[in-house]
Amino acid sequence: MPTAFVTGCATGFGHALCRRLLAEGWHVVATDPEIAGLESALAPDPAARERLLVLRMDLADPPGIRAAIYEALEWSPVDLLVNNGGYAVFGTQEEADLIAIERMFRVNVLGAMHLTRGLLPTLRARSGTVVQLSSVAGRMAFPESGFYAATKYAIEALSEALFEETCTFGVRVRLIEPGSFDTRFLERAREASEPRHADSPYAHLHAIWNEAKLGVLEPPQDPTLVVNAILASLRDERPFFRTGVGPDAERILGLRDALSPDAWVDLMARRNGVRPGSTDSGQLLAPAEVLGLGLDASSERFAPTLAAYGYGHLDHWTDTEDGQQALDLLASHARGEAPATGPAVAPDVVALARELSDPTRLAAAARAAAEAVARATGKPVPGLEPDAAEDED
């Protein structure tokens, strides 16, 4: 059976993944800075324990990484690398502890790269696979998550380049992008981050930021979903792909891909307390603009806002009467119905739109219009004279 090298195995995704790999017959090198009791926790069955090598390794320590690589390769060649280890430090760019931020970058980015570099010769020789635990934060950022998101954006970019560099050797790369899951992630982030302060210049925004995050993230989900996604990625024949895991990741990344980068940032700014009208990507519409467009769902200006509604990112519009009416209008469009509100949805307008969709009725309407204009002005309309229209029939 093949051998996997997995980081961050004491808890969370790494712990659950190692147990599943062992259950499926893999040989596993499990690493973590804290390994007391880890062998028996991962492999209660003595037979499985023979296929498990537990190593103490801190991703912030390059010499320790090299020592772990040497010991692992002495034990078995490696076919699969899972860069799972990492953590978050949260804080605004004005207030976060930059020493803590530097250490997070050493673990999340440089540590993963030291390990990947050390294992690449054997992965190239064996046409192995690299699985990178990224995040929805590798594609977007919340307030106070900019530094953490930057580490995940880096992993995304490095993974693309890694595949481009090694694809001719048969190396496969997978990017796993989870949403919110029930691990020690938030607990450890609180331990590593500076607490918020009541005298912060951002204090009046904290509640808004919290609400915006809760509005798009799911309550912590079962980590088994991520383990299943990793194992499914190993069976997938595609040489490179990224996948969001969890309904929240699918909503966030689906809309992120549907909008331009500037439109996405505009939406996030609106959700996180920006004054209406103070930022405008030129794509997302305000409620009044949606009501103004009314029936014209085919307008190119309408599409990004309809996408934002479809992915559940306009719930904050319920705070105003115009916003609620605009949501009702968007709901009608999403169901493929003629909207029930707005200035452009009177019954005669809807009837006229249906009339004009029929070529025969369109010709009759043109003749009627020409006759009405001729009566009012005493002059025929060029190209729409009543007699000419009848001759065309």
Active site residues: 148
Q: How far is CA 224 from CA 186, 198, 300, in A?
A: 18, 38, 40
Helix (H) or strand (E) holding 153: helix 146-166
Question: HSE on the CB side for 225, CA within 13 Å?
Answer: 18
Which among 134, 32, 151, 31 has a CA at the least distance from the CA of 89?
Answer: 151
Which residues on neighbouring strands pair with residue 30, listed in sequence order? 6, 54
Distance, in Å, from the CA atom of 392 to the CA atom of 53, rounded to the nearest integer, reads 86
Tokens of 316: 């904050």
Token look-up 């048969």 returns 170
Tokens of 378: 């005493």
Which residues on neighbouring strands pair with residue 175, listed in sequence order? 132, 242
Neighbours of 353 (CB within 10 A): 12
Answer whether 172's CB lies under 8 Å from 129's CB.
yes
Task: For 201, list phi and psi in degrees, rounded to 5.
Answer: -65, -10
Which residues on neighbouring strands pair with residue 5, listed in sequence order? 29, 81
Distance, in Å, from the CA atom of 247 to the CA atom of 238, rounded to the nearest integer, reads 23
Q: Tell me the three state secondary structure of residue 325.
A: helix
Q: Tell me the three state secondary structure of residue 173.
A: strand
Tokens of 326: 């605009």
Question: What burial class does residue 245 get, using C-beta atoms within 10 Å of its C-beta: 0-12 exposed, 13-18 middle, 19+ buried?
Answer: buried
Please provide the size of the chain in residues.
393
> Pairing mode, if any, of strands 172-178 and 240-245?
parallel
Distance, in Å, from the CA atom of 225 to the CA atom of 289, rounded to the nearest integer, reads 40
